[in-house]
């Protein structure tokens, strides 16, 4: 930075320090997240606390962010008890801009022919030798087109013709999504540039200055449209929708795992509303294309691979070792990575499992070393800890960081941060992140895991995300602790979530005390509204239950039951699955009923437990098994509780009451479960 541009940083930092000092002296909230929320309300659009953090670290805002800067400065000035000179701050902001930005000629990104594909998410192929190989020696393999490439070519042609387009490739991990995007942009004329924003903040800041003939590269789009952060993902999606409507041509290209695509476009676990409507609208836009990438090559495509393999050793290796046409998975080194995990010694296995569960329960992909060490320790028993050396964690990291045939190991350090800041964290391997989203049944971590998150989080948002998962699973004391720690660290929504949880459990006095402690009048108002909702909600539910009539069968259900009555069980099953593919909830209901009636109880269990968007399926299954042994029913319900099913804890409490265990049931209703699943003591 020049001396002139330094002035914005120095003056902003000084004002921030004065304001925070004054707020702290008065015992008021003063976090950057709270600051961003206050400014966002005044402006009417989202300002992210990470953006404020960037300004404090010396990265000046873009000139297009002047409205955000002014509102943040106004809040800080009010906290500090000072007048706000808007013109002074706008002048500082203007002086802080690079010369090109002031002239309006700056272009985001680089010409496509200057981009290194391995820097934008394309993965290097696995080494053919177990010995370490220089990364520079492993280049892109020969590309074999598949059916999704045809759909991509149509998108590229439309962009070349002057239209704005969005294409998102959806599929499982290591199926060739990013490589397909890379191959598609090679057809664009030389005037096109490719811009790869590092995160959602940089994306938002750059959208106002983006120029025609730019490819906006959103590889791993869930990092920009984060399902955990509804406000930010909705803000990003709304801005991208507006971008598609401005003069172009512009090309937005992204990839999404199937699980994230479903989570971003489907109804929430407890209702019919889609929790991310802007994201859903973006992906359903007339200029958007969602293109499925299959996990395997067809027989015909394998012939093309075999032909190309004559001149490509990597393809020859993959063709020889791939099972079921899964060529890309072998090229990505997945079999070697899984083998490394399976053969891990105890300490390294603990690190891998801790990272796996942290990601599974909602922590962001960046894991601080202190968190990883504390969490991993909870996966080692006393006997194990007694037999491993004191430097067990360092030795474990040495194992997890070692590349597997040239691809990253299970848990590796990550030092690339926004603004060039070096804050070493660790990341779970891409394929293991993907597996963490799909593992259906896995024992919940012990108390030490939850305590580690409370003590060593990367951000307060990570604590809130994991607290929500703990709450869904009835681990209320852990959820309350995490919410409180996040609230004290400045997370704006954490106080409200904590207060609502306490009120829901009947801890009225605690809820009131926490609302007062937050120092935010809005939390107290929301608590009052929540109390009224709980009262009227119970009354409404009782009236609806009393007035409810048996539902009428839909046409799909009538057809399925007709085939079932005629003994055409397989045809009935296929009709139910067809209904599911067409988005009809009755398809799920009928499939569950057919599986249960045919004795496929395990499949019925899995369907009911993991259909979070249709939670009443679990109710239907329990009703069908009302005469079963209570012990087996409780096992089923406890599986659902540990999976995070939104109705399961209520069903568990109901089962206990009906079997005469009222004291135990009331303890769970009021205080939840321990990490191990026993009724929790009062807290």
Instruction: Provide the angle, in degrees to the nearest 10, between the axes of the packed helices 66-80 and 3-25.
Output: 40
DSSP code at position 458: S
Q: Which of 19-28, 365-374, 398-407, 416-425 has the highest mean pLDDT?
A: 365-374
Report the C-alpha gap between 195 and 180 in whole angstroms: 17
Radius of gyration of the chain (CA): 27
In this prediction, residue 648 carries a pLDDT of 92
249: preceding bond cis by omega (within 30 degrees)? yes
In this prediction, residue 536 carries a pLDDT of 66
Report the C-alpha gap between 436 and 361 in whole angstroms: 9
User: In this predicted model, which residue has the larger pLDDT, 300 or 525?
Assistant: 300
In this prediction, residue 490 carries a pLDDT of 82
The count of C-alpha atoms lying within 13 angstroms of the C-alpha of 666, restricted to the half-sphere facing its C-beta, is 4
* Residue 556 contacts residue 579 (beta carbons within 8 Å): yes
In this prediction, residue 29 carries a pLDDT of 77
Report the C-alpha gap between 468 and 322 in whole angstroms: 39
* Residue 36 contacts residue 52 (beta carbons within 8 Å): yes
Report the C-alpha gap between 430 and 334 in whole angstroms: 10
* Residue 619 backbone dihedrals phi, psi, to 5 degrees: -60, -45
CB-based contacts of 11, cutoff 8 Å, min separation 6: 89, 92
Report the C-alpha gap between 538 and 540 in whole angstroms: 5
Report the C-alpha gap between 469 and 464 in whole angstroms: 9
User: In this predicted model, which residue has the larger pLDDT, 613 or 527?
Assistant: 527
Q: Is the pLDDT of residue 505 over 80?
A: yes
Comparing CA positions, the residue from 446, 448, 453 lying closest to residue 467 is 453
Report the C-alpha gap between 144 and 122 in whole angstroms: 15
Torsion, Cα 462 468 470 474, to 10 degrees, reads 170
Average pLDDT over residues 199-223: 91
3-state secondary structure 463-527: HHHHHHHHHHCCCHHHHHHHHHHHHHCCCCCHHHHHHHHHHHCCCHHHHHHHHHHHCCHHHHHHH
Average pLDDT over residues 254-263: 88
Report the C-alpha gap between 59 and 6 in whole angstroms: 9
Q: Return the ∠ at Cα 667 (arms to 474 and 381), rounded to 5°.
A: 60
Comparing CA positions, the residue from 165, 166, 226, 227 lying closest to residue 201 is 226
Tracing tokens 């829901």 back to the chain, one arrives at: 504
Tracing tokens 């085939």 back to the chain, one arrives at: 563
Report the C-alpha gap between 498 and 476 in whole angstroms: 10
Q: Pull the structure tokens for residue 340.
A: 């490394």
Q: Is the pLDDT of residue 470 over 90?
A: yes
Average pLDDT over residues 412-435: 76
> Which region among 242-256, 408-422, 625-639 has the lowest average model confidence (pLDDT)?
408-422
* Residue 205 backbone dihedrals phi, psi, to 5 degrees: -65, -30
> Which region among 102-111, 184-193, 351-360, 511-520 has the lowest average model confidence (pLDDT)?
102-111
Q: Is the pLDDT of residue 103 over 70?
A: no
Report the C-alpha gap between 264 and 218 in whole angstroms: 15
Q: Pull the structure tokens for residue 329.
A: 């998975």
* Residue 84 contacts residue 73 (beta carbons within 8 Å): yes
In this prediction, residue 273 carries a pLDDT of 47
* DSSP-derived secondary structure for 365-407: S-B-HHHHHHHHHTTS-HHHHHHS-TTHHHHHHHHHHS-BTTB
In this prediction, residue 270 carries a pLDDT of 43
Instruction: Provide the angle, in degrees to the nearest 10, between the axes of the packed helices 460-472 and 447-455.
Output: 150
Work out the mean pLDDT of the chain and round it to a whole number.
86
* Residue 60 contacts residue 95 (beta carbons within 8 Å): no
* Residue 506 contacts residue 670 (beta carbons within 8 Å): yes
Q: Is the pLDDT of residue 152 over 50?
A: yes
> Which region among 113-117, 204-208, 383-387, 407-411 has the lowest average model confidence (pLDDT)?
383-387
DSSP code at position 124: P
Average pLDDT over residues 57-79: 83
In this prediction, residue 1 carries a pLDDT of 45
Q: Label the pairing between strands 214-218 and 250-257.
A: parallel
Comparing CA positions, the residue from 314, 491, 323, 324 lying closest to residue 407 is 314
Report the C-alpha gap between 488 and 683 in whole angstroms: 19
pLDDT tens per residue, range 325-339: 999 999 998 988 999
The CB density around residue 568, as the number of other CB atoms within 10 Å, is 14
Report the C-alpha gap between 82 and 69 in whole angstroms: 16
Comparing CA positions, the residue from 325, 269, 330 lying closest to residue 302 is 325
User: In this predicted model, which residue has the larger pLDDT, 415 or 522?
Assistant: 522
In this prediction, residue 101 carries a pLDDT of 42
* Residue 350 contacts residue 396 (beta carbons within 8 Å): yes
Q: Which of 9-23, 79-93, 435-449, 631-645 has the highest mean pLDDT?
A: 631-645
pLDDT tens per residue, range 355-407: 999 999 999 889 999 999 999 999 998 888 788 888 999 999 999 999 888 78
- Burial 539-554, CB ≥16 within 10 A → b, else e: eeeeeeeeeeeeeeeb
Q: Label the pairing between strands 425-428 and 411-414.
A: antiparallel
Task: Report the predicted TM-score, pTM, of the whole model to 2 decimal places.
Answer: 0.77
Report the C-alpha gap between 433 and 359 in whole angstroms: 7
Comparing CA positions, the residue from 138, 176, 141, 186 lying closest to residue 308 is 141
- Burial 327-339, CB ≥16 within 10 A → b, else e: bbbbbbbbbbbbe
């Amino acid at each position: 930075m020049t001396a002139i541009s330094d002035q914005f940083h120095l003056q902003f930092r000084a004002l921030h320090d004065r304001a925070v000092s004054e707020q702290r002296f008065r015992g008021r909230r003063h976090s950057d997240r709270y600051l961003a929320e206050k400014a966002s309300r005044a402006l009417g659009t989202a300002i992210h606390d990470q953006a404020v953090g960037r300004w404090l670290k010396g990265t000046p805002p873009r000139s297009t962010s002047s409205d955000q800067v002014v509102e943040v400065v106004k809040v800080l000035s009010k906290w500090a008890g000072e007048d706000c000179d808007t013109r002074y701050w706008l002048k500082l902001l203007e002086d802080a801009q690079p010369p090109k930005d002031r002239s309006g000629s700056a272009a985001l990104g680089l010409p496509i022919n200057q981009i290194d594909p391995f820097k934008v998410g394309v993965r290097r192929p696995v080494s053919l030798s177990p010995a370490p190989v220089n990364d520079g020696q492993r280049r892109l393999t020969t590309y074999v087109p598949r059916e999704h490439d045809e759909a991509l070519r149509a998108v590229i042609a439309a962009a070349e013709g002057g239209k704005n387009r969005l294409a998102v490739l959806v599929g499982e991990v290591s199926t060739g999504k990013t490589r397909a995007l890379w191959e598609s942009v090679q057809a664009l004329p030389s005037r096109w540039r490719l811009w790869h924003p590092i995160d959602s903040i940089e994306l938002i800041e750059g959208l106002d200055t983006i120029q025609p003939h730019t490819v906006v590269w959103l590889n791993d789009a869930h990092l920009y449209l984060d399902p955990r952060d509804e406000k930010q993902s909705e803000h990003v999606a709304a801005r991208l929708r507006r971008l598609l409507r401005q003069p172009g041509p512009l090309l937005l290209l992204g990839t999404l795992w199937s699980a994230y695509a479903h989570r971003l476009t489907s109804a929430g676990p407890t209702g019919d509303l889609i929790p991310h409507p802007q994201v859903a609208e973006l992906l359903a836009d007339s200029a958007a294309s969602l293109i499925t990438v299959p996990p395997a090559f067809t027989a015909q495509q394998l012939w093309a691979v075999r032909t190309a393999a004559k001149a490509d050793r990597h393809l020859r290796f993959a063709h020889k070792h791939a099972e079921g046409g899964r060529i890309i998975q072998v090229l990505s080194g997945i079999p070697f990575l899984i083998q490394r995990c399976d053969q891990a010694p105890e300490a390294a296995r603990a690190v891998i499992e801790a990272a796996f569960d942290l990601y599974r329960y909602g922590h962001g992909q960046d894991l601080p070393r202190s968190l990883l060490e504390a969490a991993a320790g909870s996966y080692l028993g006393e006997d194990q800890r007694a037999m491993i050396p004191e430097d067990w964690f360092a030795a474990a990291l040495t194992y997890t960081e070692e590349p597997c045939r040239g691809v990253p190991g299970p848990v590796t350090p990550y030092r690339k941060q926004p603004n060039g800041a070096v804050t070493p964290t660790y990341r779970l391997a891409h394929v293991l992140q993907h597996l963490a989203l799909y593992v259906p049944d896995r024992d919940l971590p012990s108390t030490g895991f939850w305590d580690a998150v409370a003590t060593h989080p990367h951000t307060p948002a990570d604590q809130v995300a994991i607290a929500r998962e703990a709450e869904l699973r009835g681990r209320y004391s852990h959820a309350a602790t995490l919410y409180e720690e996040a609230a004290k660290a400045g997370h704006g929504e954490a106080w409200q979530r904590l207060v609502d949880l306490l009120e829901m459990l009947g801890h009225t006095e605690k809820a009131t005390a926490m609302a007062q402690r937050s120092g935010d009048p809005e939390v107290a108002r929301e608590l009052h509204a929540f109390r009224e909702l709980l009262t009227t909600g119970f009354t409404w539910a009782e009236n609806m239950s009393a007035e409810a009539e048996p539902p009428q069968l839909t046409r799909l259900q009538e057809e399925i039951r007709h085939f079932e009555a005629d003994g055409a069980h397989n045809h009935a099953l296929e009709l139910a699955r067809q209904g599911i593919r067409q988005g009809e909830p009755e398809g799920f209901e009928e499939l569950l009923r057919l599986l249960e009636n045919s004795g496929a109880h395990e499949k019925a269990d899995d369907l009911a437990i993991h259909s979070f968007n249709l939670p009443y399926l679990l109710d239907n299954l329990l009703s069908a098994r009302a005469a079963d042994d209570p012990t087996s029913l409780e096992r089923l319900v406890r599986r659902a509780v540990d999976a995070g099913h939104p109705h399961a804890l209520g069903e568990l409490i109901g089962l206990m009451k009906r079997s005469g265990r009222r004291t135990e049931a009331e303890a769970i209703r009021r205080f939840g479960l321990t990490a191990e699943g026993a009724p929790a003591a009062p807290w």
